[in-house]
Amino acid sequence: MTTTQVDRRIEQFQNNMRLVRTEVGRVIVGNDAVVDGVMTCLLARGHVLLEGIPGVGKTKLVQTLADVLHLKFSRIQFTPDLMPGDIIGTSIVREDEGGRKYFEFQPGPIFANMVLADEINRATPKTQSALLEAMQENSVSVGKTTHPLQQPFFVLATMNPLEMEGTYPLPEAQLDRFFFKLKMGFPDVDELHEVLDRTTQAREPQVDRVLAQGEILEMRETAREVPVARPVQDYAIRLTLATHPEASGAHALAKQYVRFGASPRGTQALILGAKVHALIHDRVHVASEDVRAVALSALRHRLLLNFEAEADRVDTDAILTRIIGELAAP
C-alpha cells in the first residue's frame, strides 16, 4: 500500500463518518459522543453496552444506526424466560422429498450483523452467556456444528440502571467482553424541544442507508493500521496500571476504592478506541489525547470497586476522571 492509498483511505474513512453522523443526527438529538462511541466500537470490532434511564433513546439510536449502516439487524428483548436457543437458534426435524427426516439448523436472531440486546440484564445468566460467547468467539456452536457469524458482527446491549428488581446484573467477567460502556444522559431543554418537534408530528424523519457492509470492513482495516508510538502506548499502559490498587503506579483513589483494576483487554480497548478516535479527528497517529478521550468509556465497566466505594457512593467515573486528570502525559 502506498502513501497515496493510505491518504485516500483516511479521506474515505472521514467522509463515511461524516455521512453516518449526519444521517444519525436526523433522528437522534444530541448524544454526539455516544454516536461516536458506538461507531468506534463497531470499527474497532468491539461490542457496546449502553446504559441509560428509560426513554432517552437507547433503542432508537441502535435502530437508526442499523438503518444507516445497511446491515442485517435483529433485536432481542431479553426477559427472564428467554432461553439460549431463542438467541442462537435450534435444530428442527425436517423431512426431505424421500420422506427421510433430518435435523436442520434454524439460526436465531443472533445471526445478524447488528444485534440489539435490549435490557440484557433481565435474562438469566445462562442466556446471557450464550450471547457473550458469540460476542467473544464470533461464532455459535450448536451440537457438533460451529456456525460462524457474518462480519461485521456487532452487539449493542442496553441496560437500565434503575429497575434492578428481578434482574441479573452482568458479572465482571462478562462486562469485560464489552469494548465500551456508554452512558446516555438526559437531554437538556433545547434538545427536548428538538426531540418533541421531531417525534410528535405526523411524519417522523427518515434516514438513508449510507454505508454498506464492505465499506465498514474497510474502515475497520484502516483503523487497525494507525501507528502508535511507544510513548503513547506506554501512557495507555500506565493509565491501566494506575487503576490497579496493588501496582506500583497505582493512584491513591484506586488504592482506596478499587478491588480489581482494568484488565489487559481494557488496554487493548484503549489503544484500538484511540486509533479510531485519531482517524475521526484527522490524525494519522495516536495521540495521548485520543487515549484520554476513550479512557472513560473503555475502562469504567472494567473496574471492580470495593465495599468502601459503595459505602462512600464513589463510582468508577469519578475515580477514572481523577486518574486521567492527574496522570502525566508523555
Which ranges constitute the DSSP H helices of the chain? 3-27, 32-43, 58-69, 84-88, 125-137, 172-175, 189-199, 213-225, 230-241, 252-257, 264-280, 288-299, 307-311, 316-326
Find the shortest distance in angstroms from Cβ 173 to another protein: 12
Grid cell digits, residue 129: 452467556
Smaller CB distance to another protein: residue 1 or 189? 1
Interstrand relation of 145-148 and 139-142 (parallel, antiparallel or unpaired): antiparallel
Find the shortest distance in angstroms from Cβ 209 to another protein: 30
Smaller CB distance to another protein: residue 5 or 248? 5
The answer to whether 231 and 277 are in contact (CB under 8 A) is no
Cα 161 to Cα 164: distance, rounded to the nearest angstrom: 7
Smaller CB distance to another protein: residue 187 or 330? 330
Residue among 248, 249, 297 at smallest CA distance from 272: 297
Which residues are near another protein by CB under 8 A? 1-3, 5-7, 164-165, 169, 171, 225-227, 229-232, 259, 283-290, 306-308, 310-311, 329-330
The answer to whether 134 and 88 are in contact (CB under 8 A) is yes
DSSP-assigned beta bridge partners for residue 103: 93
Smaller CB distance to another protein: residue 191 or 289? 289
Smaller CB distance to another protein: residue 220 or 283? 283
Cα 270 to Cα 260: distance, rounded to the nearest angstrom: 18
Q: HEC string of 263-324? A: CHHHHHHHHHHHHHHHHHCCCCCCCHHHHHHHHHHHHCCCCEECHHHHHCCCCHHHHHHHHH
Smaller CB distance to another protein: residue 61 or 303? 303
Smaller CB distance to another protein: residue 93 or 328? 328
